Amino acid sequence: DSGVTQTPKHLITATGQRVTLRCSPRSGDLSVYWYQQSLDQGLQFLIQYYNGEERAKGNILERFSAQQFPDLHSELNLSSLELGDSALYFCASSPSPGTGNEKLFFGSGTQLSVL
Binding string, 2-21, against other proteins, x = CB under 8 A? x-x-----------------
CB of 44 to other proteins, least distance (A): 8
83 by DSSP, 3-state: which? helix
Please pick, from the candidates 21, 25, 29, 48, the single residue that binds other proteins as defined by CB under 8 A.
Answer: 48
Cβ atoms 111, 8 nearer than 8 A: no
Task: Please enumerate in sequence order all residues whose Cβ is within 8 A of that of 41, keeping only pairs 6 or more positions apart, or say none.
Answer: none
28 forms part of the interface with other proteins (CB under 8 A): no
Q: Is there binding between residue 22 and other proteins (CB under 8 A)?
A: no
Compute the least distance from the CB of residue 51 to other proteins, in Å.
Answer: 14
CB atoms within 10 A of CB 98: 16
Calpha distance 19→110 (Å, rounded): 11
Binding mask 70-109 for other proteins (x = CB under 8 A): --------------------x-x-----xxxx-xxxxxxx
